[in-house]
Structure 1
């Protein structure tokens, strides 16, 4: 039997994935030249961000906050005597209190707040409303009605940092690109200056392939444009992309905007603009197995991307549900490699599972759409538009934004 150590226990209990050392340096470097007096590490975990901050700035006070009782001792062991003299650790639950008055923490009292919040959601409760309201941010939920924990951390950090101060945050793709959180992004952009969003390589954190981002916010808003950057797995940086507030409200990930831009420059149009209509299948995986009608699921896509599919002969009228017929383009909605699962229906018909999206294009356009989606540019757009870890997913809205 294996006994979990303190760090493993914290990872399980608090959904904690400590930042690798190089990432702490990227975050501090992205904040830029500053001479902070008071720095707060909110949800400090093992202290990687704190140590990176102390290596860059000579602060008079470093405050670390974490719900984990062992976090403070873990950080103190890594500090020099001079650094330890400036360090103060507070045990507090960021999700259950306003933090004002907690051992000297006050609104607008910090020069810089850094944080790598837990990557999970929690049930909405009325107690969370004041945390968001005082930061001027809306109470957005995910498709399941849960609240992203990182959204609460952002609100707490904005309340505690002084006017003109900076936030350096490591956030998951729900805040950056999730459709349900677009109102949150808009409020953030309208009230504060989102200076940079740096897309990190997948698997930046050991033990998860979550897509994460470094986000730099100045409490001096509003935003006029946002610089989007991206670090590749080999450590190289891609050319930055600058987007306006409307584009950033839709999504703030470099991969998405960089993939769409070359096509737009060639005068091509989105699937929405050419008149394509998308529909999501309705059958669950259990219903697929029980259905007496012919069905099509993600496992039925041909091995070759873009190949034609030949479905069983279909005589109308069709039963209820979403059916594929000749000329329809099928795209996987959920799959680890969903960009590879694109097909054109050549003959026959079948009811679609809820893991498949049907694109019904203007007459004669289906072949062109398949060629575009399976081209290098189309594949890049599909990869960039997909979200999530493990089995990734793409929304109908994001699919219709792809240009062909």
Structure 2
């Protein structure tokens, strides 16, 4: 029989991934010598961020909030008697509307809010709308009607921090670079000053390969530009990149902006400017398994990136599904190494999996497109544009921005 510890159970139930000590230090250092009178750790877990804050600042009060019943005891055990004297813990669900006055938590009552929200999606409910509205943020959901938990945490933090106060948050790439959440990023940039976004190495958190970021927000004025940083797996830092509001609205990850807008060589153009049309396949894995007609899935890409593939000849009448034909360029939409899966259809035809994007090119440029995507520059662009945990994915609009 396998015995599950309370911490392991918390990881499963609340999608909890405690911050490594070095990540907490990065977050606190990024906030700098902020005025740290009252500090709130929202979704505190085991208190790694709280301990990092106490090692840097003298605080008048530390408030921790978490829905996990063991979190409060974990933090209390980690504090010194002096630290415990200024600590209060509240068990509450951050995804619910936090009314002013609960255990002294009032709008604008905190100097600093720090948080590492759970890495999960939640089904959208009408009760989430007022949480976002009072923070001046739009109600954005994914195409499946889900909302990143992180988005609600950001709204709660903005509601509780005082004017001129600071937020230090650890967020996954759904909020930082997700296409559906671009309106959320724009509202955040227009209403508050997003000072820095630091891209952490993948697998910074044990048990997940999620791409995470440290974001520093100051509740004052609005953003004019954003500093993007990146830490590599060996602990080294890359040179920062500074982006304007439109670029930050699009995405706020260093890796994308460092490569996603390469220096354009004479004659190069974005795929959309070349008239390339992107279409996503529509067959599920179940439909592929039962299909009587030729199909093409991510497992059918040739080993060599950018090579040709010959599909079977059509022997039945074509239906209304998405088909690939000679001259089409196929790119994996979802895959761990999607940048490697690029192929030119030399002949034949097949119905496409929903994990494959078909690029239909104007006459005479298909080979240019496949060569460009398979080149070092193209591979860098695809790699930086892909996002997600585990099997990464790329949006069709982002794909069409790639320059060849």
- Measured against the shorter chain, the TM-score band is over 0.9
Distance 1:235 1:71 in 2: 29
Distance 1:332 1:129 in 2: 35
1:20 paired to 2:37: no
From the superposition, tell whether residues 214 and 266 of structure 1 become closer, same or farther in structure 2 (CA, over 3 Å). Answer: farther
Aligned counterparts, 1:107-256, within 5 A: 107-256=107-256
> What is aligned with 1:323?
323
Distance apart, 1:289 and its partner CA? 2.6
The question of whether the paired residues in 2 share the 8 Å contact of 1:263 and 1:377 is answered with no
Distance apart, 1:114 and its partner CA? 0.2
What are the ranges of 5 or more consecutive residues in structure 2 without an aligned counterpart? none
Distance apart, 1:69 and its partner CA? 1.9
Distance 2:400 2:378 in 1: 12
Distance 2:49 2:152 in 1: 19
1:360 paired to 2:360: yes
Deviates more, 1:317-326 or 1:6-15: 317-326
> What is aligned with 2:283?
283
1:40 paired to 2:34: no
The question of whether the paired residues in 2 share the 8 Å contact of 1:195 and 1:227 is answered with yes
**SS across alignment from 1:90:** strand
Distance 2:294 2:256 in 1: 35
The question of whether the paired residues in 1 share the 8 Å contact of 2:293 and 2:316 is answered with no
Distance apart, 1:99 and its partner CA? 4.2
> What is aligned with 2:299?
299
CA displacement, residues 154-175 of structure 1 (integer Å, 9 cap, x when unaligned): 0000010011110000001111
> What is aligned with 1:262?
262
> What is aligned with 2:101?
101
Distance 1:86 1:63 in 2: 8
Deviates more, 1:292-301 or 1:272-281: 292-301
Distance 2:327 2:41 in 1: 55
Count matched residues: 404
Distance apart, 1:286 and its partner CA? 2.0
Distance 2:221 2:197 in 1: 16
Distance 2:176 2:73 in 1: 33
Distance 2:212 2:106 in 1: 29
The question of whether the paired residues in 2 share the 8 Å contact of 1:271 and 1:402 is answered with yes
Deviates more, 1:151-160 or 1:309-318: 309-318
> What is aligned with 2:334?
334
The question of whether the paired residues in 2 share the 8 Å contact of 1:142 and 1:180 is answered with yes
> What is aligned with 2:7?
7
What are the ranges of 5 or more consecutive residues in structure 1 without an aligned counterpart? none
> What is aligned with 1:373?
373
Distance apart, 1:239 and its partner CA? 1.2
CA displacement, residues 33-66 of structure 1 (integer Å, 9 cap, x when unaligned): 2231111000000111001101110111111111
CA RMSD of aligned residues (A): 1.5
From the superposition, tell whether residues 331 and 307 of structure 1 become closer, same or farther in structure 2 (CA, over 3 Å). Answer: same
The alignment's TM-score, normalised by the length of structure 1, stands at 0.97
Distance apart, 1:368 and its partner CA? 1.5
Distance apart, 1:315 and its partner CA? 7.3
Deviates more, 1:211-220 or 1:118-127: 118-127
The question of whether the paired residues in 2 share the 8 Å contact of 1:263 and 1:403 is answered with no
Distance 2:111 2:265 in 1: 41
Distance 1:311 1:2 in 2: 48
The question of whether the paired residues in 2 share the 8 Å contact of 1:189 and 1:221 is answered with no
**SS across alignment from 2:362:** coil
Distance 1:287 1:128 in 2: 36
Distance apart, 1:317 and its partner CA? 7.0
The question of whether the paired residues in 1 share the 8 Å contact of 2:34 and 2:166 is answered with no
**SS across alignment from 1:261:** coil
From the superposition, tell whether residues 69 and 290 of structure 1 become closer, same or farther in structure 2 (CA, over 3 Å). Answer: closer
The question of whether the paired residues in 2 share the 8 Å contact of 1:10 and 1:16 is answered with yes
Distance 2:34 2:2 in 1: 45
Aligned counterparts, 1:55-74, within 5 A: 55-74=55-74
Distance 2:170 2:22 in 1: 13
Distance apart, 1:267 and its partner CA? 6.6
Distance 2:331 2:200 in 1: 27
CA displacement, residues 292-315 of structure 1 (integer Å, 9 cap, x when unaligned): 322211111111111111112347
